[in-house]
Amino acid sequence: MSNMVPVKVYRSFVVVVLLVAVGAMAAPAEEKPTSYIVRMDKSIMPLVFTSHSPWYASTLASVKRSIAEDGLLHVYNVVFHGFAAVMTPTQATELEKSPGVVSIIPDTVAQLRTTHSPDFLHLQAPVGIWPEADYGSDVVVGIFDTGIWPESASFSDEGMAPVPSHWKGSCIAEEGSNTSFCNKKIVGARVFYASYEAMNGPINETAELKSPRDSIGHGTHTASTAAGRSVQNASMFGFAAGTARGMAPMARIAVYKTCWANGCTGADILAAFDQAVLDGVDVISLSLGIDGGTPPYYLDPIALGGFAAMEHGVFVATAAGNRGPSDFSVENVAPWLTTVGASTMDRSFPADVILGNGEVISGISLYKSDGSEEQDMPLVIASDAALGNNGTSSFVANLCTAGSLDPSLIRGKIVLCERGDNSRVDKGEVVKAEGGAGMILANSASDGEGLIADCHMLPATAVGARSGSIIRRFIHSNKSATARFKFYGTRLGINRAPVVASFSSRGPNPETQEILKPDLVAPGVDILAAWTGLSGPSTLATDSRRVKFNIISGTSMACPHVSGLAALLKAAHPSWTPSAIRSALMTTAYLTDSTTHIMTDEATGKLSTPFDFGSGHVDPQKALDPGLIYDLTTHDYITFLCSINYTKQAGRMVARQAISCPRNSGNPGDLNYPSLSAVFDQSSASALTRIFTRTVTNVGNARSDYTVQVVVPQGVQITVKPTKLSFTGLNQKLSYKVMVKAGKLSLGAGESETVFGLISWTDGSHVVQSPIAVTRQEPY
Ligand SMILES: *[C@@H]1O[C@H](CO)[C@@H](O)[C@H](O)[C@H]1NC(C)=O
Ligand SMILES: *[C@@H]1O[C@H](CO)[C@@H](O)[C@H](O)[C@H]1NC(C)=O
Ligand SMILES: *[C@@H]1O[C@H](CO)[C@@H](O)[C@H](O)[C@H]1NC(C)=O
Ligand SMILES: *[C@@H]1O[C@H](CO)[C@@H](O)[C@H](O)[C@H]1NC(C)=O
Ligand SMILES: *[C@@H]1O[C@H](CO)[C@@H](O)[C@H](O)[C@H]1NC(C)=O
Ligand SMILES: *[C@@H]1O[C@H](CO)[C@@H](O)[C@H](O)[C@H]1NC(C)=O
Distance separating alpha carbons of residues 436 and 516, to the nearest angstrom: 47
Ligand 6 centroid vs 645 CA: distance in angstroms? Answer: 6
Nearest-Å Rg of the Cα atoms of the chain is: 26
Distance separating alpha carbons of residues 141 and 280, to the nearest angstrom: 10
Q: In this predicted model, what pLDDT tens digit does every residue of 581-628 receive, in sequence order?
A: 999 999 999 999 888 889 999 888 889 999 999 999 999 999 999 999
Ligand 4 centroid vs 516 CA: distance in angstroms? Answer: 52
The pLDDT of residue 106 is above 90:
no
For ligand 1, whether the C-beta of 174 sits within 6 Å is no
The residue that leads in pLDDT, 105 or 584, is 584
Name which residue sits closest to atom 4 of ligand 2, judged by CA.
207
For ligand 6, whether the C-beta of 647 sits within 6 Å is no
Number of Cβ within a 10 Å radius of residue 400: 31
Pocket test for ligand 4, best of 480, 484, 485 (most atoms within 8 A of CB): 480
The pLDDT of residue 482 is above 90:
yes
Pocket test for ligand 3, best of 231, 232, 243, 245 (most atoms within 8 A of CB): 232
**Cα–Cα–Cα angle for 716, 717, 723, nearest 5°?**
145
For ligand 2, whether the C-beta of 204 sits within 6 Å is yes
For residue 176, the ligand 1 atom closest to its alpha carbon is 13
Distance separating alpha carbons of residues 146 and 672, to the nearest angstrom: 35
Looking at all shown ligands, the one closest to residue 359's CA atom is: 4
In sequence order, the 6+-apart residues with CB closer than 8 A to the CB of 673 are 335, 515, 516, 630, 632
Distance separating alpha carbons of residues 302 and 296, to the nearest angstrom: 11
Ligand 1 centroid vs 180 CA: distance in angstroms? Answer: 12
For ligand 6, whether the C-beta of 649 sits within 6 Å is no
Distance separating alpha carbons of residues 210 and 73, to the nearest angstrom: 16
For ligand 6, whether the C-beta of 124 sits within 6 Å is no
Looking at all shown ligands, the one closest to residue 409's CA atom is: 5
Q: In this predicted model, what pLDDT tens digit does every residue of 626-647 receive, in sequence order?
A: 999 999 999 999 999 999 999 8
Name which residue sits closest to atom 2 of ligand 1, judged by CA.
178
For ligand 6, whether the C-beta of 671 sits within 6 Å is no
Distance separating alpha carbons of residues 97 and 107, to the nearest angstrom: 19
For ligand 6, whether the C-beta of 644 sits within 6 Å is yes
pLDDT of 435 reads 95
Distance separating alpha carbons of residues 129 and 248, to the nearest angstrom: 10
Q: Which of 54-68, 96-110, 150-164 has the lowest mean pLDDT?
A: 54-68
For ligand 1, whether the C-beta of 686 sits within 6 Å is no
Are 344 and 525 in contact by the 8 Å Cβ rule? The answer is yes
pTM value surpassing 0.85: yes
134 conformational bin, left if phi > 0, alpha if psi -120 to 50, beta if neither = left
In sequence order, the 6+-apart residues with CB closer than 8 A to the CB of 479 are none
pLDDT of 43 reads 79
Distance separating alpha carbons of residues 195 and 192, to the nearest angstrom: 8
Q: Where are the alpha helices (DSSP H) in 204-361?
A: 218-227, 266-279, 301-311
The pLDDT of residue 35 is above 90:
no
The pLDDT of residue 3 is above 70:
no
* One-letter amino acid for residue 99 of the chain: P
Name which residue sits closest to atom 8 of ligand 1, judged by CA.
178
Please give the average per-residue pLDDT across 309-318, as a whole number.
Answer: 97
Residue 558 sits at φ, ψ, to 5 deg, of -70, -40
Name which residue sits closest to atom 13 of ligand 3, judged by CA.
232
For ligand 2, whether the C-beta of 202 sits within 6 Å is no
For ligand 2, whether the C-beta of 261 sits within 6 Å is no
Looking at all shown ligands, the one closest to residue 209's CA atom is: 2
pLDDT of 32 reads 78
Ligand 2 centroid vs 205 CA: distance in angstroms? Answer: 8
The pLDDT of residue 568 is above 50:
yes
Looking at all shown ligands, the one closest to residue 476's CA atom is: 4
Q: In this predicted model, what pLDDT tens digit does every residue of 76-86 receive, in sequence order?
A: 988 788 899 98
pLDDT of 392 reads 62
Q: Which residues are catalytic?
A: 145, 218, 556
In sequence order, the 6+-apart residues with CB closer than 8 A to the CB of 564 are 136, 141, 225, 226, 227, 246, 247, 248, 251
- Return the H-helix or E-strand segment holding 380: strand 377-381
For ligand 2, whether the C-beta of 233 sits within 6 Å is no
For ligand 6, whether the C-beta of 12 sits within 6 Å is no
Mean of all residue pLDDT scores within the chain: 88
Q: In this predicted model, what pLDDT tens digit does every residue of 516-535 receive, in sequence order?
A: 999 999 999 999 999 999 99
For residue 232, the ligand 3 atom closest to its alpha carbon is 13
Where does the pLDDT of residue 769 fall: very low under 50, low under 70, confident under 90, or very high at 90 and above? very high
The pLDDT of residue 747 is above 50:
yes
% residues pLDDT > 90 (the chain)? 60
Q: Which residues approach ligand 4 with their CB closer than 6 A?
A: 356-357, 478, 480-482
Q: Which residues approach ligand 3 with their CB closer than 6 A?
A: 232-233
The pLDDT of residue 27 is above 60:
no
Where does the pLDDT of residue 289 fall: very low under 50, low under 70, confident under 90, or very high at 90 and above? confident
Residue 71 sits at φ, ψ, to 5 deg, of -70, -10
Q: In this predicted model, what pLDDT tens digit does every residue of 389-442 receive, in sequence order?
A: 656 666 677 899 988 999 999 999 999 999 988 889 999 999 999 999 999 999
Ligand 5 centroid vs 537 CA: distance in angstroms? Answer: 40
Q: In this predicted model, what pLDDT tens digit does every residue of 138-183 receive, in sequence order?
A: 899 999 999 999 999 999 999 999 999 999 999 988 777 777 788 9
pLDDT of 723 reads 97
Where does the pLDDT of residue 99 fall: very low under 50, low under 70, confident under 90, or very high at 90 and above? confident
Ligand 1 centroid vs 178 CA: distance in angstroms? Answer: 6
pLDDT of 66 reads 60
For residue 177, the ligand 1 atom closest to its alpha carbon is 13
Distance separating alpha carbons of residues 671 and 335, to the nearest angstrom: 9
The DSSP call for residue 3 is G
Q: Taken in order 643, 649, 652, 658, is the CA torsion positive or negative? A: positive
Looking at all shown ligands, the one closest to residue 534's CA atom is: 2
Ligand 2 centroid vs 204 CA: distance in angstroms? Answer: 6
β-sheet with 34-40: strand ranges across: 72-76, 82-87, 34-40, 101-106
Looking at the DSSP assignment, which residues form a beta bridge with residue 740?
A: 690, 718
CA dihedral 331, 566, 164, 74 (to 10 degrees): -10
The DSSP call for residue 160 is P
pLDDT of 662 reads 85
Q: In this predicted model, what pLDDT tens digit does every residue of 672-708 receive, in sequence order?
A: 999 999 999 988 777 799 999 999 999 999 999 999 9
Distance separating alpha carbons of residues 553 and 704, to the nearest angstrom: 42
Distance separating alpha carbons of residues 377 and 369, to the nearest angstrom: 15
Distance separating alpha carbons of residues 416 and 475, to the nearest angstrom: 10
For ligand 6, whether the C-beta of 645 sits within 6 Å is yes
The pLDDT of residue 131 is above 90:
no
In sequence order, the 6+-apart residues with CB closer than 8 A to the CB of 569 are 129, 133, 576, 581, 584, 585, 623, 624
Ligand 6 centroid vs 715 CA: distance in angstroms? Answer: 26
Q: In this predicted model, what pLDDT tens digit does every residue of 492-501 receive, in sequence order?
A: 877 888 999 9
In sequence order, the 6+-apart residues with CB closer than 8 A to the CB of 160 are 137, 184, 185, 250
Taking Cα atoms as reference points, which of 641, 428, 617 lies closest to residue 515? 641
Please give the average per-residue pLDDT across 251-263, as a whole number.
Answer: 94
328 conformational bin, left if phi > 0, alpha if psi -120 to 50, beta if neither = left
Pairing of strands 101-106, 34-40: antiparallel
Distance separating alpha carbons of residues 332 and 334, to the nearest angstrom: 6
Pocket test for ligand 6, best of 645, 681, 775, 777 (most atoms within 8 A of CB): 645
For ligand 2, whether the C-beta of 206 sits within 6 Å is yes
Please give the average per-residue pLDDT across 245-259, as a whole number.
Answer: 95
Name which residue sits closest to atom 4 of ligand 4, judged by CA.
356
Q: In this predicted model, what pLDDT tens digit does every residue of 371-387 receive, in sequence order?
A: 877 899 999 999 998 88
pLDDT of 41 reads 85
727 conformational bin, left if phi > 0, alpha if psi -120 to 50, beta if neither = beta
State whether residue 736 is helix, strand or coil.
strand
Which segments of 96-247 are extended strands (E)?
A: 101-106, 109-112, 140-145, 186-191, 231-236, 239-244
Where does the pLDDT of residue 23 fall: very low under 50, low under 70, confident under 90, or very high at 90 and above? very low
Pocket test for ligand 2, best of 200, 203, 204 (most atoms within 8 A of CB): 204
Concatenated DSSP letters for 332-369?
---TTSEEEEEE--SEE-EEEEEETTS-EEEEE-----
Looking at all shown ligands, the one closest to residue 406's CA atom is: 5
In sequence order, the 6+-apart residues with CB closer than 8 A to the CB of 43 are none
Pocket test for ligand 3, best of 229, 233, 235, 245 (most atoms within 8 A of CB): 233
State whether residue 664 is helix, strand or coil.
coil
